[in-house]
């Protein structure tokens, strides 16, 4: 019985420590997409990070042209906006300096 408890305890410690080590520091990127000064609903925003080359995220703007991505890694962030037909509109950059940071990236285009 004692051996079972010991093995179970060690297994639990290993599982929790592995999960803890895999968490990354993240922040939130908010923004708006506008075209000719008007909010653009249903635009697609693609985020990428130069500090974490494997990170990409997509968000779609709401009726007011707003978007939010809450799992962006700490570091330099680039956002690219595309209209609902997939045509590139605008890009912007920002920096999440620490976990929990919130930044705003307004993306505006004219045609």
- pLDDT tens readout for residues 11-62: 555 445 444 444 579 999 999 999 999 999 999 999 999 876 689 999 999 9
State the Cα–Cα distance between residues 25 and 73, nearest whole angstrom: 6
Ordered domains of the chain (ranges, CATH): 25-109 (2.60.40.10)
- The four Cα atoms 32, 33, 35, 39 give a dihedral, to 10 degrees, of -50
State the Cα–Cα distance between residues 51 and 23, nearest whole angstrom: 15
pLDDT single digits (tens) 77-97: 999 999 999 999 999 999 999
Which residues lie closer than 8 Å to 84 by C-beta, 6 or more apart?
Answer: 42, 43, 44
What are the backbone dihedrals phi and psi of residue 97, each rounded to the nearest 5 degrees, phi first?
A: -85, -25
Nearest 5 degrees, angle CA 52-CA 24-CA 42?
65
């Amino acid at each position: 019985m004692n051996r079972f408890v010991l093995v179970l305890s060690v297994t639990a410690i290993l599982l929790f420590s592995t999960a803890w080590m895999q968490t990354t520091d993240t922040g939130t990127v908010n923004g708006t997409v506008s075209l000719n000064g008007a909010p653009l609903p249903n635009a697609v925003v693609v985020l990428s990070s130069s500090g974490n080359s494997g990170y990409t995220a997509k968000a779609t703007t709401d009726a007011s042209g707003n978007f939010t991505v809450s799992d962006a890694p700490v570091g330099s962030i680039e956002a690219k906006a595309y209209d609902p037909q997939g045509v590139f509109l605008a890009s912007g950059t920002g920096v999440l300096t620490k976990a929990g940071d919130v930044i705003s990236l307004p993306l505006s285009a004219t045609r």
